[in-house]
Amino acid sequence: MAAVPVLDEARFGYLKPTDVARLAEAYRFSGAAHAGQTRQSGEPYVSHPLAVAEILAGWHLDSQALMAAMLHDVMEDTSVTKAEISDTFGKPVADLVDGVSKLDKIEFQSAEDAQAENFRKMLLAMARDVRVILIKLADRLHNMRTLAAVAPAKRRRVARETMEIYAPIANRLGLNELFHELQELAFSHTHPMRYRVLLKATRSARGNRREVVGKIEAAIKARLAEAGVSAAITGREKHIYSIYRKMIEKHLSFSEVHDIYGFRVVVKDAPTCYLALGVLHGLYKPVPGKFKDYIAIPKANGYKSLHTALIGPYGVPVEIQLRTEEMHRLAEAGVASHWMYKSDVDSLSELQKKTHQWLQSLLEIQSQSGDSQEFLEHVKVDLFPDEVYVFTPKGRIMPLPRGATAVDFAYSVHTDIGNKCVAAKVNGELVALRTELRNGDRIEIITTGYAKPNPAWLQYVRTAKARSNIRHFLKTMQYDESAALGERLLEQALKAAGHSSSEIDAESWEHAIRDAGAHTRQEVLADIGLGRRLPAVVARRLLRKTEREEAKSGNSKGLPASVVIRGTEGMAVQLASCCRPIPGDEIIGSIKKGQGLVVHAAECSPAKRSRHNEPDQWIDVEWDRQPSRLFQTAVRVIVTNQRGVLAKVASEIADAGSNIDAISMEEDRAVFTTMLFILEVANRQHLARVMRALRRLPEVEKLARARE
């Protein structure tokens, strides 16, 4: 076995001597706790927490974070408890260790659930103290650097997890150097052959272009010096993974990716960045559309720079970044700059504010997410690096993910605005809410007091906040509507037994709630409405006290009472799309788990088969005498294939007072065409009027109500 590594105190020289002594104590504690344990590579396990602490020392983190790094695996892999850590090293260190530790001692239904819950715990701990994620990122970086010792299947899983979660979080926190290293390492393990081929090609191209690159660098230095601009110029190679992504996204071969090399120009202040930009645009021609000003409009993670692409000698594209020394520190270290450069606290306040806002949004999303996997999905959505920048009516800049819509913008302004939005204006013109926003758009959201989120929004929103708030609202609304339906279904079941809800006392309800494993009466009723509990079963539990007396007296059940369908019950009641029942049709209802009450026409073939196989799931329903809405139904019309026939049919439908919701047509045949209309009608009499009007058209050969 390899020798136990020694703590090099010189690496932690920026700390006070007393803090270094405490760190050495934490190292000895960790070594004792992990005694006898080895890594996959055969090294003593304590070499890992030491390496993590050394990575954090490179970011100049404080002594508490470094001690937590030394101890970050002792709660997971040894018998050491949080209380012991707290007693020895203090509560802040114990809280950091706890935030990084996994939840291995809790049983989960699947590996995916366990992973999702671990991420949720870590991200919420990070929302309270950002040092948690910095420790976790350093932990992941060292694991990725030593991943070759791990079995191939686990290697690929860890690499995918790094690419999907940890690298985007590093990017979101402004840790640029770490972000790129994690991406490179993850790519090298998920696609090892592609990585090796591209690495070899890049090294070869670098050698072939050395003379050209040297010439460009000399020309840039000379031209900036002529203009009196003092600058530090460094070469900047494109990373292997970014070259690979460009090849995939733009369908290019390696030889077509010319801009694998660029330059970074660091100057004294922001005005000099723009001066240097003008000088370089005078030296080489800029590529149209490739200039990005992240100084005027910083990225969400606080990144600031000017980006431009130039056509250099021999037609070689050259990418150039211009920034100040302070911007460069921020670009490389992100939120870790708070510890590395304490003299720059004022200039970092904007970054810290943005980071704090994002971390707080995690807490908001967590409070609305139903489970860990849903929370993880929301967070993944929110980690997109590409952004567009839009303006509020008052001129405030708001960053959004690329592909974000007017609905995303509404929710980013305020949850209430998102929930009540009905329309949007982009640059003064009315647009659909699903319209994707572009850089520089000026957005105005139109709201009304009665509006509410549309489930269809979930198909196109891009931000985690919008998705989370929409789902939360719909769940709440569905819960309330389902509880109301559940109450009606339970009342029907009680009437079938010859009783009513008014006869049920509080004690019976308490027993029923406890037996059901629920917390409140409302929860039981909502479960009935959502089809998770059968109303007859709940009714029997509520009537236990009287069952024996009924049996003795021979009291028989009353006739079942039908549930009345008004058509305005919302998501708790659904009209089956297979038969599209309308008032006037005989109907039956099915209790479907998670869907509530699904209403079918009595003659519906799928409903008949299901009723035969699962009779307990079906209940009697009837239409309200005066339904207060229009209902969809399908009509199939076969017409002579003539010019203008569709317009004639649509005109007759409109004249009969019906709306067309959708239309589809079979391929034109030589003589006849079949059209399928989804119409809105009030009842069967209204549908009959529509069909009589259509029969009067000479072009209509045949029509009938369509049922699947």
Helix-, strand-, coil-residue percentages of the chain, each rounded to 5: 55, 15, 30
Residue 354 lies in a domain: no
The residue-averaged pLDDT of 133-140 equals 89
* Whether residue 294 has pLDDT greater than 80: yes
Instruction: Please write the tens of the pLDDT for every residue from 427-448.
Output: 888 988 989 988 778 899 999 8
Asked if 547 and 572 sit in the same domain, the reply is no
pLDDT at 61 over 50: yes
| Listed residue (558, 436, 423, 448) closest to 497, CA to CA | 558
The CATH number of whichever domain residue 203 belongs to comes to 3.30.460.10
H/E stretch holding 620 reads: strand 618-623
Q: Is residue 609 one of the residues assigned to a domain?
A: yes
517 and 608 part of one domain:
no
Do 335 and 287 touch, CB atoms closer than 8 A? Answer: no
What is residue 520's predicted lDDT score, i.e. its pLDDT?
A: 86
- Are 252 and 266 part of one and the same domain? yes
Residue 102 pLDDT > 70, yes or no? no
Distance from C-alpha of 174 to C-alpha of 294, rounded to nearest angstrom: 13
Q: How confident is the model at residue 238 (pLDDT cuts 50, 70, 90)?
A: confident
331-345, 465-479, 685-699, range with the lowest pLDDT: 331-345
CA distances from 484 to 50, 135, 596 (A): 59, 49, 11
- CATH number assigned to the domain comprising residue 669: 3.30.70.260
Instruction: Quote the pLDDT of residue 344.
Output: 47
Q: What is the mean pLDDT of the chain?
A: 81
pLDDT tens for each residue of 382-399: 554 467 778 888 877 787
Q: Are residues 615 and 471 in the same domain?
A: no
Q: Mark whether 73 and 186 lie in a shared domain.
A: yes
Q: Examine residue 458 and state whether it is found in any structural domain, yes or no.
A: no
Specify whether 501 is located in the same domain as 606: no
Q: What is the pLDDT at residue 593?
A: 61
492/608 same-domain check:
no
Give CA–CA dist 421/405, Å, rounded.
12
* Burial label, 82 (beta-carbon count in 10 A; 0-12, 13-18, 19+): middle
Q: What's the rounded mean pLDDT across residues 186-209?
A: 84
Instruction: Determine contact, residues 174/334, Cβ cutoff 8 Å.
Output: yes
pLDDT value for 560: 47
Mark whether 636 and 622 lie in a shared domain: no
The first and second tokens of residue 479, run together, are: 């819960």
Same domain flag for 84 and 46: yes
Is 214 contained in some domain? yes
Average the pLDDT over 290-317 and give the result.
84
CB-neighbour burial class of residue 485 (10 A; exposed 0-12, middle 13-18, buried 19+): buried
pLDDT given at position 511: 79
pLDDT for residue 280: 93
- Average pLDDT of the segment spanning 585-614: 82
In a domain, 351, yes or no: no
Nearest to 652 by CA among 582, 700, 707: 700
Look at 598 and 1; give whichever has higher pLDDT.
Answer: 598
Q: Is residue 441 part of a domain?
A: no
pLDDT recorded at residue 552: 53
**Which helix (H) or strand (E) segment is 97 a member of?**
helix 91-100
Residue 359 has pLDDT above 60, yes or no: yes
* Active site positions, annotated: 76-77
* Together in a domain, 158 and 219: no
**How many CB atoms are located within 10 Å of the residue 289 CB?**
7
Instruction: State pLDDT tens for residues 407-419.
Output: 999 998 888 999 9
Whether residues 667 and 617 share a domain: the answer is no
The predicted pLDDT at position 105 comes to 41
CATH code assigned at 143: 1.10.3210.10
Q: Does 603 fall in a domain?
A: yes
- How many structural domains compose the chain? 5
pLDDT higher than 90, residue 460: no
Indicate the residue among 575, 596, 627 that finishes a domain. Answer: 627
The boundaries of the domain holding residue 494 are 464-555
Show which of 526, 555, 584 is a domain's final residue. 555
Res. 112 pLDDT band, cuts 50 70 90: low
Question: Is 106 part of a structural domain of the chain?
Answer: yes
Shared domain check, 690 and 617: no
End-to-end CA distance of the chain: 71
Structure tokens at 634: 């399908």
Decide which of 627, 659, 682 is a domain's last residue. 627
